[in-house]
A and B are shown apart, each in its own frame.
Chain A
Amino acid sequence: MCGIVGYIGDKQAQSILLNCLRRLEYRGYDSCGIAVAVGGIKVYKDAVRVEALGKISPRFKGTTGIGHTRWATHGEPSQVNAHPHLDCTGKIAVVHNGVISNYQELKRRLASEGHNFVSETDTEVIPHLIGKYYDGSLEKAVEAALRDVEGSYAIIVLIAGEPKLVAARKDSPLIIGTGDRENFIASDVPAILDYTGRVIYLEDGDIGVVTKHDIKIRRDGIEVAREEHEILWSVEEAQKAGYEHFMLKEIHEQPRVIRNTLGEYTRETEPVVDLTVMRDAGVESMLMVACGTSYHAALIGRYIVEELLRIPARVEIASEFNYYSYTLARTVALAITQSGETADTLKAMKRLGEAGCRVIAITNVVGSTASRIANQTIYTRAGPEISVAATKSLVAQLMVLYWLAMSYSKADARQLASLLVELRQLPSKVQQVLDDEAKIMEYAKYLSGYEDVFFIGRGINFPVALEGALKLKEISYIHAEAYAAGEMKHGPFALLGSDTPVIAIVAKDNTYEAMLTNIKEIKARGSPVIALAEEGDEAIEELADWVITVPQVDAIFSPVVNTVALQLLAYYTAKERGCPIDFPRNLAKSVTVE
């Protein structure tokens, strides 16, 4: 999915385009670009987010322009592949959302006619086709060009010398916003709602010719009338698909993310990623480096790897790892980063590579820097994550770790067979947690009244406690700390009391008895206890003050259902406290500085 936008009017186009593009970032944000008519056409584009582009791009003086923000699914995001794309003369610029299915054939034909291509994209054939057919009328050239094109598209075309924009759509969304002495074109309505509330919806096959003063819509060469609609709803509502915040929308996407990521990697026809390195006899241990929520995925990954691959695993925070002097050259290293741009993780990857490690990146962004540094890359299929607080990307990372460990597992056949059945059920189990969110809302109401909260866990659920505390503190601003349950008596006990609730993650594995003992110790010190436990656990019902129940799963998968429950707890607690959930203070989505 990509987002496109166009502006024509009296105002400076650049800042309007950038503002509209920011509102389209939910459609993707691995690269972006703008083109403005300033006599000729000036283009600025790069593999950066819109905000960064706004800072680094030169100021173009012009009142007509187009823009694009991209989410690559195939081919890498790079400056040359970013839109807009130009024809040979540099006078025609095009932004495109969709897929041109016959572009290779068109490209060959155009190249043989002497056209020069600079990018690897399908889009670039469009400006060249328009250039080929241009004979003084842009709309006629666009019409002719689109007759050659197969596939899906929403395009906006800008040309030097004619004060107009031409837009066309087929199977990709496109709307025209009408203003006073100015008009807008965009992939969706919220992109332009800051400027106008009147829109025209283009139909498949329509070609719109937009000038400052008027809009003409043609179809098969004949002008047609399209009704104007008054938009009565508010910005962003549509992008969040009914939800109040992106975070909740993304939490709810997780059953689908699990299915997509598993579907991507469990298909049998051919391996998506060849990890022969994992089969090398020499692999004696595994090292994982990451930051933030991805670091928690790695900590959970340690238990998965040790349990299923039967090799020792070490996990390091990337920023700290960079101060350590020794690296293990015969190790396989996993670098986990949602954005693929986290500066500390990239630096660790470079050092590991230089030391002779085989580095495998797990990232959500195709073609990101991490994927270029790594020997091999495994992509999570979480889609663009807008909420600063990471949710679905963690679950997708865990799915990759499960897949990786199970594919090369040394566990016995009985254990693997039963794990595979459970893995298939996981989307439904997560859905069950989501379906029970009304109960979690009640606990959130209770929790929102406190200023200090402890999270405790043991074994594979200790990192889940860390993640639960991180989610709560970053969006609700409640001071939350996580401890391995056994560590509580080595200091933190001094802080327990009736105003410090403890959230205990209780799994039915070899940590169970010890956790019950810990909870009793905490109760004895007067702290209220909220337990997160499997349904049907009667012992815990008697012991804890509140119990959040999650469906029964094998202990190795318990981090998935427990994490989702804690995400909901953090979300509803923050909502209760009226916090700006999607954009918490002082935080940025991807940290590209050390």
Chain B
Amino acid sequence: MKQAVILAAGEGQRLRPFTLTKPKVMLSIADKPILQYVVESLAQNGIRHIVIVVGYRREQVFDYMGAGEQFGVEIVYITQEKQLGTAHALSQVKDVVEDEFLVLPGDNLIEADTIAQFVAMKPNAVLVKKVDDTARYGVVLTEKGVVKDIVEKPKEAKGNIVNTGIYAFSREIFDFVGAELDIPDVLNGMLAQGHAISAQETDGIWLDVVYPWDILNLNDAILHRIPASLGGTIEAGASVKGLVSVGKDTVIRSNSYIVGPVVIGEDCDIGPNVHLLPSTSIGDNVVISPFSEIKNSVIGDDVSIGPGSIMQDSVIDDGCVMKGHFTACSGEAEVKVDGEYHLVNVGAMLGVGCKLGSSVVAQAGAIIGNYSQIQALKLISGKLPDRSFVV
């Protein structure tokens, strides 16, 4: 198998505010979009001919992935105008795929090991994995490595083996898509007609991101696997311990104390006297001013953090500016997404381009919409819509 199709058209509504300006596949984990991990895993398994189905905010994918050269692959883009479902996305690539090909979700974190065995599978096949909580997934009922049935999001647990959304298909699949919108329905249709679909189980990394705080889990999982490296300057008197990766032209100033796993991007200016704790990712062109402490958080590109700020279990998107003494401590919070309440331990979530005056305090679970402006000394809780103006 030498060709792969990555489905990357979806928006990821439950991940707002982070998916207002980018598709779900471009969410940054450890300073790289999720999609890049999928592409790199394919390249490591010798699959260099990649078709990416794009749709929502596709320019973000074009701008970052380009023609694939810097990732050692060749990318062809196909646009799915309306994101109707995975089978509909698949039907868009009919004219560009070869006799046999892989299909992968672009918004799941997939490591090279996870698919190392599967790339040799003969079509039609599905990669499955054991999970503790099956509620989010399609449960796959198998018998001796052959699929019997796929049950989407079962109310009662019928098994603990779920569909990873990674498939090996032949062109024959297009005969079965018909009016179906999702791939599991297509497969159930094939089973009903007596066609065999094999299942292979993996114990490699396969992580899904559904809610904003999932970003923190993925970040933590990946950071532990990134080797330490130094592309910038660490001034005398700064301490760097554990797995810490520092990008090109970044400066870590005196008396900063960094405990890995931590990834810091390019052209950043950190410190003096900044404390970074596990598991934290920092984007490119970020300024972190003195006496700030950041723990288990994800910071985007072009962010400017004023002096004396504290961030724990928080996600800060690109281009945010905090004047100083911004506080986002972690705590247990009930967060409402899509009409459902979730009890989670988080700090704050900030969309792109937010501007915060000095001494703003965000309560645990606060979600601040994109391009919001908040004046000094405000206490923020709950969910603020995009372009909020707090005076």
Contacts and interface: CB of A to CB of B under 8 A. Distances in A.
A428 interface: yes
B74 interface: yes
Contact of B233 (A201, A229, A269, A426): A269
A505 to B, nearest CB: 21
Nearest to A255: B63
A432 B61 CA distance: 16
B302 A428 contact: yes
Interface stretch (A234-242, A273-281, A475-483): A234-242
A428 B353 contact: yes
Interface stretch (A260-268, A299-307, A455-463): A260-268
Interface in B26-56: 46, 48-49, 54
B353 A434 contact: no
B176 interface: no
B5 to A, nearest CB: 13
B76 A238 contact: yes
B353 A432 contact: yes
B288 to A, nearest CB: 12
A425 interface: yes
Nearest to B251: A268
Interface in A179-212: 188-189, 201, 203
Interface residues on B, range: 35 or more
Chain B interface, >50% SS class = loop
Given A189-B74, A229-B49, A427-B302, A249 B267 contact: no
B267 A267 contact: yes
B65 interface: yes
B352 A203 contact: no
Interface residues of A, number: 41
B388 to A, nearest CB: 13
Nearest to A252: B63
A441 to B, nearest CB: 12
A241 B49 contact: no
B67 A241 contact: yes
B353 A201 contact: no
B233 A238 contact: no
B113 interface: no
A424 B249 contact: no
Contact of A201 (B48, B58, B98, B371): B48
B318 interface: yes
Given A259-B267, A432-B371, A425 B319 contact: yes
B182 to A, nearest CB: 25
A208 to B, nearest CB: 16
Give the interface centre of B74, B249, B318, B371 by most chain A CB atoms within 10 Å.
B74
B301 A428 contact: yes
B304 interface: yes
B338 interface: no
Interface in B49-82: 49, 54, 57-59, 61-63, 65-67, 69, 72, 74-77
A222 to B, nearest CB: 17
Nearest to A536: B389
A233 to B, nearest CB: 5
B267 A266 contact: yes
B352 A249 contact: no
Interface in B273-292: 284-285, 287
Contacts of B3: 229
A133 B264 CA distance: 45
Contacts of B371: 432, 551
A126 to B, nearest CB: 21
Contacts of B175: none
A425 B371 CA distance: 13
Given A173-B69, A242-B58, A263 B285 contact: yes
B352 A432 contact: yes
A173 B267 CA distance: 28
A580 to B, nearest CB: 21
17 contacts: A173-B74, A239-B67, A241-B66, A241-B67, A243-B59, A252-B63, A253-B63, A259-B285, A263-B266, A263-B267, A266-B267, A269-B233, A424-B285, A427-B319, A428-B302, A428-B353, A431-B319
Interface of B: 2-3, 21, 46, 48-49, 54, 57-59, 61-63, 65-67, 69, 72, 74-77, 95-96, 98, 233, 248-249, 251, 266-267, 284-285, 287, 301-302, 304, 318-319, 321, 352-353, 371
Given A189-B74, A227-B2, A259-B267, 12 more contacts: A229-B2, A229-B49, A242-B62, A252-B59, A253-B63, A428-B302, A428-B352, A431-B21, A432-B352, A432-B353, A435-B21, A435-B57
